[in-house]
Amino acid sequence: MIYGERIRFRHIERSDLPTFVRWFNDPEVRENLSVYLPMSLVSEERWFENRSQSHPDEQIFGIEVPEGDGWTLIGNCSFFGFDRRVRSAEIGIVIGEKPYWNQGYGTEAMQLLLKHGFETLNLNRIQLLVYETNPRAIRTYEKAGFVYEGRMRQAQYKNGAYLDVLIMSVLRPEWNEPQA
């Protein structure tokens, strides 16, 4: 487990897959993700099998919050697209449980993911891609320390329109600055 102030990360389990399918079949959750079609449990199981064969650094974390005597799964996140020679990777996140939106959990998860990436995985650069139409996520990433790098024009197609995709990143020296 990796613990933050109000959340923890754990590896996902097969038993989490029905929850993921529920999230990804909700058009409001799916709106800002690269997932564009409804998902079946069979396809999610296939995805899980493929991801479970990945390098340990690329395993998916479940994002959980304490609730009662246990923990509740509210989202997931991961590193992927590693370039180990230059010590860089990309990250992705989803808070799938809508009652937990707009409460700072995404920001805390991003900060915890950065800490893990820089302190445990020894990365120098962590990047992400975000749709221009997702201001809530952009604010979350900026609060966590991400810097806008550029724009891929009309790089995504959603709901009958082309969208620009923004590139944001954090470098290790930038992340270390607030710690000093």
Check which CATH number belongs to the domain holding 125 and give it: 3.40.630.30
Q: How many domains does the structure of the chain reveal?
A: 1
- How confident is the model over 148-168, as pLDDT tens digits? 999 999 999 998 999 999 999
141 labelled catalytic: yes
Rounded to an integer, what distance in angstroms lies between the CA atom of residue 60 and that of residue 67? 22
Q: How far is CA 92 from CA 67, 130, 160, 172, in A?
A: 24, 9, 24, 18
**Segments forming the whole domain that contains residue 89:** 2-179
Mean pLDDT, residues 114-126 = 97
- How confident is the model over 32-76, as pLDDT tens digits? 998 888 899 999 999 999 988 888 899 899 999 999 999 999 999
Give the active site residue among 141, 148, 157, 162.
141
Q: Minimal CA–CA distance to 58: which of 50, 68, 66?
A: 50
pTM over 0.85: yes
